[in-house]
Amino acid sequence: MSALDPTVAGQLAEDLPPDVFRTIIATFEEDLTRLVQELRAAYDSGDQDGYERAAHSLAGAAAAVGAVGLEREARLAMDHRQPEAAITVLPRLVAEAEGALEALHALIH
C-alpha cells in the first residue's frame, strides 16, 4: 500500500509551484522530526496529554500532505481507548513517517 494518497499529494504538487512544494516538504520533515521526538519524550515520561497532543499534530501534518498511513497510525496513537500499546504503535508510526517522506521526495523529482 502506498504511503501517500495520490489525490492529495498529487493535487498539492499540481496546485503549488515546485519551489513552494519543496519548502512544504521541508517544513513537513521538520514537523515530523520534532513531533516524533515530542511523542517519544511524552511516552518516556508517562505524559498522556502531551503524547496525544503530539499525535494529533502529527495526524494533522500527515493529512495535509496526504500521508495516509502516517495519519492512520497517528490517529491510533492519539486515541487512548484503542487497545494497542504505544510501544507497538510508535515504531510503526516512525516507519510510516520515513515512508511518507521518501514518497514525497520522489514526487519532487
Q: Which of 22, 40, 50, 53 binds another protein (CB under 8 A)?
A: 53
Our CA angle for 93, 33, 54, nearest 5°, is: 65
64 binds another protein (CB under 8 A): yes
What CA–CA distance (Å, rounded) separates 54 from 18? 29
Stretch that binds another protein, among 40-48, 58-66, 80-88, 89-97 (CB under 8 A): 58-66
**Which ranges in the chain belong to alpha helices (H)?**
6-15, 18-45, 48-65, 68-78, 86-108
Q: Which residues bind another protein (CB under 8 A)?
A: 8, 11-12, 15-17, 20, 23-24, 27-28, 30-31, 53, 56-57, 59-61, 63-66
